[in-house]
Chains A and B, each alone.
Chain A
Amino acid sequence: MANVESLRYFLPELLLTALVLAVFLVDLGLKRKKVPIATLMVVGLLVSLYAVLKTPGAEGVTLFLGMVSLDPFSVFFKVIFIVTAVLVTLFSMESDEVEEKNFGEYMGFIAATTLGAVLLASSNHMLMAFLTLELVSVPCYVLAGYISRSRRSSEASLKYVIFGAASSGLMVYGISLLFGVTGSLSFEGIRDALSAGNPGEIIVLISLIFILAGLGYKIAVFPFHMWCPDVYEGAPTPITAFLSVGPKAAGFAVLVRMLHVAFSSSDGAAAYLTDISSVDWPFLVAIISAATMTIGNLLAINQSNIKRLLAYSSIAHAGYLLMGVVALSQLGTQALLFYFVVYLLMNLGAFLVVLNFRSQTRSEQIGDYTGLAWRSPIGAFVAVSMAIFLFSLTGIPPFGGFIGKVYLFASIIQGERFIWLAIVAIANSVISLYYYARIIKVMFLRGIDAEDLGGFVSSPTTITLLTILAVGTAVSGIFWGPIARWVSHSASLFFG
């Protein structure tokens, strides 16, 4: 579709762009900023969420001469990003790490990242994917360093920039090699060139590895995960929560679209795709997946800082999520999308508890969580919610994380080729129980007479949000039919 006609289908993105500009401008005129700017953010994001759901043509059209694709898959991720941004906005209100002076800029960068993520999930062209990947990355670099005069925060930002620059450089190089052998940058064009003839396996392998380096950095998989713990520890807590869900989901969205559209085709059974490049990339991704979950879980065992622990846990989850990509089937993609819904609830919930605890005690050490459940009634509520999120992250029924994992394992077992990956993943789930349960043990079984530590309070907003997220985590494990229907509709695009 040509440029001017496309604008009609592009309303959510235009609204987000307007929101970015509006937040920056409102910041100029105000002294007391937090409440008005956060209100503007939430209203703006909800309006664009409404526009996402009401935009016509959601059954699949390509816009802007094939650059951007509007389909159920991109709509799914748009909803995920916008909901994440709304929650992170509310988290930021609860946090004391961001100064009021810079609040407008900070919120503007969150809105800009969301805009980038929305475009990244719908990009259908290598150049668009690269450009929007940078639009996601650059504001995140700034956000990671937002605590002024904090060495750790600046270090986090600098590490993020340097790793990011190196890996996007590699990615562009890979894209250029791929363009050299296929003569096209659009995903469909690459698929046609690859299925027409063999353009040389070494070149395709090298370019695929380079592109995976760029995307793998964004989703923090082995061996591009090193930045993750340091950045997560140094960044303000709401931003850590944001980074672990928003940009990660964006990276997965473009990874799935690229691998499913450009590097495979559905000439066999409708629910499966076959790899059309001469490179066995499902095997490559399976190795990365196994290595990522193992490294993430093993390194998480010994952490004493809870943000670092959750960083390693999010690396491990990237490994689990990659199983859905490896399966290369409709069930695999469904499992991936389903897991993202649950992951959003439980991971943001866990970070909200960390944030609340930090604002009460100035501590991020797991040891300081001792006896949280016994300090005050609110402490007990917070500890119970944390236990729900952690059990769900482990994958214990009856919480959402269990159903998500069942879908992922089922997709791998159904594919039959990578049964060993399912076994590795099960072993990893057992390892992860150890370090998640350690936090729960400290909160409930230690310091039963710990009342002298002082009462523990939370603001009404925190309590409401925790209730919503905890109930969501629990309900998605019992009554998951609606989510499953939604994701199967969103995933059907690449198949049949």
Chain B
Amino acid sequence: MLAASKYAPVVLLFVIALAIPVLMIGIATIVGPRRLGVKKKVPFECGTEPIGDTRKRFSVRFFLVALLFIVFDVEAVFIFPWAVLFRQLGLFGFIEMAVFLFILILGLVYVWKKGALEWE
């Protein structure tokens, strides 16, 4: 491994980065006293006591809206630079953008017809 010496600093960095947390947690576990109790498990100076689980279920419709949003957001991202350079791009640019928009509009028609835009 001739090239190995080139990577020695990287390996050293890995070793140090691993050693520091291992040492800190390790020493604390070995040296520190352990007295578990009810009082120790309550939230400490962090505001109110938690109620319920943070993992709430919410409607799958939000994902659909997010997906549709991304599609049309990306469309806007493509259209802005094209609009700025419209004159330089000429007819070819116009046709390209027309093809792109045509495909996107087909997509819009599809989701509309399938009822993906209705909340209920």
**Partner-B contacts on A (CB < 8 A):** 4, 21, 24-25, 28, 200-202
The minimal Cβ–Cβ distance linking A195 to chain B, given in whole angstroms, is 18
* A27 to chain B: closest residue by CB: B110
> Is B106 engaged at the interface, CB distance under 8 Å to the other chain?
yes
The minimal Cβ–Cβ distance linking A482 to chain B, given in whole angstroms, is 40
The minimal Cβ–Cβ distance linking A202 to chain B, given in whole angstroms, is 5
**Partner-A contacts on B (CB < 8 A):** 1, 3-4, 6-7, 92, 103, 106, 109-110, 113-114
Does A25 lie within 8 Å of B110, measured CB to CB? Answer: yes
Closest 5 CB pairs of A and B: A28-B113, A200-B3, A202-B3, A201-B3, A24-B110
Chain A residues lying within 8 Å of B7, measured Cβ to Cβ, are 202
CA A192 – CA B106 in complex, angstroms? 43
Tell me which of B4, B103, B106 contacts A202 (CB under 8 A).
B4
Tell me which of B1, B4, B92, B103 contacts A21 (CB under 8 A).
B103
Chain B residues lying within 8 Å of A21, measured Cβ to Cβ, are 103, 106
Residue of B3, B6, B92, B114 most packed against chain A (CB within 10 A): B3
Does B106 lie within 8 Å of A4, measured CB to CB? Answer: no
Does B106 lie within 8 Å of A200, measured CB to CB? Answer: no
Chain A residues lying within 8 Å of B110, measured Cβ to Cβ, are 24-25, 28
The minimal Cβ–Cβ distance linking A288 to chain B, given in whole angstroms, is 22
Chain A residues lying within 8 Å of B114, measured Cβ to Cβ, are 28
Chain B residues lying within 8 Å of A4, measured Cβ to Cβ, are 92
CA A4 – CA B109 in complex, angstroms? 29
Chain B residues lying within 8 Å of A25, measured Cβ to Cβ, are 106, 109-110
CA A469 – CA B3 in complex, angstroms? 54
* A198 to chain B: closest residue by CB: B3
Chain B residues lying within 8 Å of A24, measured Cβ to Cβ, are 106, 110
Tell me which of B6, B103, B113 contacts A200 (CB under 8 A).
B6
Please, could you name 14 A-B residue pairs with CB atoms under 8 Å apart, sorted by A? A21-B106, A24-B110, A25-B109, A25-B110, A28-B109, A28-B110, A28-B114, A200-B3, A200-B6, A201-B3, A202-B1, A202-B3, A202-B4, A202-B7
The minimal Cβ–Cβ distance linking B13 to chain A, given in whole angstroms, is 16
Known: A25-B109, A25-B110, A202-B4. 4 other contacts (CB 8 A): A21-B103, A28-B109, A28-B113, A28-B114
The minimal Cβ–Cβ distance linking A21 to chain B, given in whole angstroms, is 6
* A25 to chain B: closest residue by CB: B106
CA A4 – CA B89 in complex, angstroms? 14
Chain A residues lying within 8 Å of B1, measured Cβ to Cβ, are 202
The minimal Cβ–Cβ distance linking A36 to chain B, given in whole angstroms, is 17
* A199 to chain B: closest residue by CB: B3
CA A284 – CA B101 in complex, angstroms? 47
CA A202 – CA B5 in complex, angstroms? 11
* B112 to chain A: closest residue by CB: A28
The minimal Cβ–Cβ distance linking B20 to chain A, given in whole angstroms, is 25
CA A202 – CA B1 in complex, angstroms? 9
CA A487 – CA B103 in complex, angstroms? 37
The minimal Cβ–Cβ distance linking B101 to chain A, given in whole angstroms, is 13
Chain B residues lying within 8 Å of A201, measured Cβ to Cβ, are 3
Residue of B1, B92, B110 most packed against chain A (CB within 10 A): B110
Chain A residues lying within 8 Å of B4, measured Cβ to Cβ, are 202
Chain B residues lying within 8 Å of A202, measured Cβ to Cβ, are 1, 3-4, 7
Chain A residues lying within 8 Å of B3, measured Cβ to Cβ, are 200-202
The minimal Cβ–Cβ distance linking A52 to chain B, given in whole angstroms, is 22
Chain A residues lying within 8 Å of B109, measured Cβ to Cβ, are 25, 28
The minimal Cβ–Cβ distance linking B82 to chain A, given in whole angstroms, is 15
The minimal Cβ–Cβ distance linking A23 to chain B, given in whole angstroms, is 11
The minimal Cβ–Cβ distance linking A7 to chain B, given in whole angstroms, is 11
CA A21 – CA B6 in complex, angstroms? 53
CA A21 – CA B110 in complex, angstroms? 10
CA A4 – CA B113 in complex, angstroms? 35
The minimal Cβ–Cβ distance linking B45 to chain A, given in whole angstroms, is 39
* A29 to chain B: closest residue by CB: B113
* A4 to chain B: closest residue by CB: B92
The minimal Cβ–Cβ distance linking A317 to chain B, given in whole angstroms, is 36
CA A200 – CA B113 in complex, angstroms? 56
* A203 to chain B: closest residue by CB: B3
CA A282 – CA B109 in complex, angstroms? 50
Chain A residues lying within 8 Å of B92, measured Cβ to Cβ, are 4
CA A4 – CA B96 in complex, angstroms? 11
The minimal Cβ–Cβ distance linking A148 to chain B, given in whole angstroms, is 14
